[in-house]
Structure 1
Amino acid sequence: MGGLTLKHFILKHRVLNLYRQAIRSVRSIPDPQARKETVAWIRAEFERNKHLTDVPTIEDRLASGRRDLRRILPTMHLSNSRS
């Protein structure tokens, strides 16, 4: 854990909160296959970025993740409710 700062610790907490929020949001997707694919996509995105250590990059990815979550999940809810 050498080299990690208090800022890294705080960002790790924020990343975990975003992950939990994203997974909880997926529960409301009515189609089981769409729900499964969305969870897989979320996990893949977090896995892809788990080795980042640069604070500005982590902060940027967090902001991007929040935007994606707000933009993508409501779209899926609307498209599934029309089916």
Structure 2
Amino acid sequence: MRMGPGLQHFILQAELLSAYRAAVRATRPLPDPQTRRETLDWLRSDIERLRGEMDDDVIRSNLQTFQRNLKTFGPSLSISGLSGIGAKLIGQKR
């Protein structure tokens, strides 16, 4: 008898969504709208691939890869605020 997704699955899905939101916010400083759109499309395709995934290990692995990619590509794209700590993003009030 197979049970539905457990609590860990929902936690991982929430972490994945949170990582995507942070990535979207981090792309705001990109000056070229076309570059930002392409970057967002690339990030979204990674997340969409995992939408229906039920294996927690696959989600966890892809979440780690997604976060690692953001840290790797962030500086090369001149994206600031990837860590979200102390960085002021455009449109964010302090």
Corresponding residue for residue 47 of structure 1: 48
Amino acid at match of 1:42: L
The one-letter code of the counterpart of 1:24 is R
Residue 75 of structure 2 corresponds to which residue in structure 1?
A: 74
Q: What is the TM-score with the length of structure 1 in the denominator?
A: 0.85
Counterpart of 1:21 in structure 2 is 22
1:9 paired with 2:33, answer: no
- Ranges in structure 2 where 5+ consecutive residues have no aligned partner: 80-94
Q: CA deviation at 1:28?
A: 1.4
Aligned-pair distance for 1:33?
Answer: 1.1
Per residue, is there more helix in 1 or in 2?
Answer: 1
Greater RCO (CA < 8 Å, at least 6 residues apart) = 1
Identical-pair percentage: 38
Query: How many residues are matched?
Result: 77
* Unpaired segments ≥5 residues, structure 1: 79-83
Using the alignment, how far apart are the partners of 2:32 and 2:74 within structure 1? 13
